[in-house]
A and B are shown apart, each in its own frame.
Chain A
Amino acid sequence: MPDSAEWAIVLLSLKIGGVAMLAALPVAYALAWALARGRFPGRVLLDGIVHLPLVLPPVVTGWLLLLAFAPNGPVGRWLEAWFGVSVLFRWSGAAIAAAVMALPLMVRAIRLSIEGVDRKLESVARTLGASRARVFWSVTAPLSLPGVLAGMVLGFARALGEFGATITFVSNVPGETATLPLAIYSALQVPGGEASVVRLAGMSVALSLAALVVSEWLARRGGRNVHVL
């Protein structure tokens, strides 16, 4: 059985993965909406930027985050001045790295389901007297829910597995930024760490499977032939 230090690693991973996924979700939905429905100059460029973390070496993404969030970087300076905080070497920094890496997968899944929403149903809703906001909340959002669930699962799984950007951006600090993949990597460096590696790897598999099963269950509970898997 995993010892208490290993359970702490699992909890930390869940916290970072969950926070990253939930924080990325509204951003992902807004981006997916803009890419699916928007007709504006620079749409292709925006599409490319959103997908960058998917194609860049994660180390490069991590390094770019480091530049941005460093104490004299554009975002880091602002955080320091306004809130007196820094995300470097902190779990919040790990969550930022995970969110950035999860974002493109979430945008892709959500965008597909928004594109799949029948626009004719939206125009019926308008003729029935619905405002733009009501059309969105009563038609577009519920009908794109399968993609949102799929995006949440993919994003969460991606956030749990994040390695390269995290270790580059916020380093491998036990109890703060050392999530499951980083802890497994550390254990591999230590002679006699194999048993720990096996247990941590087992937890990774269990967590990822559980996420998939929960999302499928959520989708079925929502009914109406909605599937994530």
Chain B
Amino acid sequence: MSFDIAVTVRLGEAVVGALVPNDGRDAGLTVLFGPSGVGKSSVLNMVAGLLRPAAGHVRVGGRTLFDAAAGIDMPVAERCCGYVFQEPRLFPHRRVAANLRYGMGRGEAPIGYDDIVELLGLRGLLDRWPVTLSGGEAKRVAIGRALLSGARFLLMDEPLASLDRARREEVMATIERLRDALRLPILYVTHDAAEADRLATRIVAM
């Protein structure tokens, strides 16, 4: 099974919740679809362990990451989640290669360093500082870094936001390749219907 999520949390006045039922498949790209401001990013943060749900459970690939009733709350570092944030969030004081290698060594990565560099077209960027990268390049590095950290599943928070048309196409093609090449569950947040239709193996509305 890929994702089996039922969480709620109170954020100020609002209550944010999401239900992603188990679909019985062990890979594929699940789009979490909904308008801006509905709390999609908070759901990803709860899956990653950066935000603690008030109630519910989070199970990915058969592992229970959080279960309020059973008192399970796995530490962030042990969840083995590859989280690609909306902004690339590269470490500004490390070159691209060092950014890519930051999380290596936590369990077996779904894909090796050289393969990632090839797949994402990063060969020419390895010695660069993050500030010198374009938006699309930085996004590809962030995806590579997440995958190399021994990720057992990916979380992607509007990875195409803040990219121009050409860059969107470039990153979208990359994500399609990842989805088809790696047997890795991906939870993908977007508010763009066309993007959801093109990438999703299933769509969950929020």
Contact = CB atoms under 8 A, between A and B. Distances in A.
A142 B93 contact: yes
Query: SS class of chain A's interface: helix, strand, loop or mixed?
Result: helix
**Chain A interface residue bracket vs B:** 10 to 19
Given A123-B50, A124-B83, A129 B93 contact: no
Given A120-B89, A131-B77, A139-B91, A125 B50 contact: no
Interface residues of B, number: 26
B93 A127 contact: no
A138 B103 CA distance: 12
B8 interface: no
A224 interface: yes
Given A123-B50, A224-B129, A129 B89 contact: no
B28 to A, nearest CB: 21
A128 interface: yes
A218 interface: no
Interface string A113-138: 00000101101111111110000001
A138 B102 CA distance: 9
A125 B91 CA distance: 9
Query: SS class of chain B's interface: helix, strand, loop or mixed?
Result: loop
Given A120-B85, A224-B129, A127 B76 contact: yes
Contacts of A138: 91, 102
Nearest to B129: A224
A129 B89 CA distance: 15
B92 A224 contact: yes
Nearest to A124: B89
Nearest to A132: B77
Given A121-B91, A143-B93, A128 B149 contact: yes
Interface string B150-193: 10000000000000000000000000000000000000000000
A139 B92 CA distance: 9
A197 B36 CA distance: 70
A128 B93 contact: no
B149 A129 contact: yes
Contacts of A129: 77-78, 80, 103, 105-106, 149-150
Interface in B7-55: 48-50
A197 B48 CA distance: 65
Nearest to A118: B89
Contacts of B78: 129
A175 to B, nearest CB: 44
B146 interface: yes
Given A127-B48, A127-B83, A121 B103 contact: no
Nearest to A222: B93
Contacts of B82: 127
B116 interface: no
B145 interface: yes
Interface in B69-85: 76-83, 85
A125 B93 CA distance: 13
Contacts of B102: 125, 128, 130, 138
29 contacts: A118-B89, A120-B85, A121-B89, A123-B50, A123-B76, A124-B89, A124-B91, A125-B102, A126-B50, A127-B49, A127-B76, A127-B77, A127-B79, A127-B81, A127-B82, A127-B83, A128-B106, A128-B145, A129-B77, A129-B78, A129-B80, A129-B103, A130-B77, A131-B77, A138-B91, A138-B102, A142-B93, A143-B93, A224-B92
Interface of B: 48-50, 76-83, 85, 87, 89, 91-93, 102-103, 105-106, 129, 145-146, 149-150
Interface of A: 118, 120-121, 123-131, 138-139, 142-143, 224
Given A118-B89, A121-B91, 16 more contacts: A120-B89, A124-B83, A125-B91, A126-B49, A126-B50, A127-B76, A127-B81, A127-B149, A128-B102, A128-B103, A129-B80, A129-B149, A130-B77, A130-B103, A143-B93, A224-B129
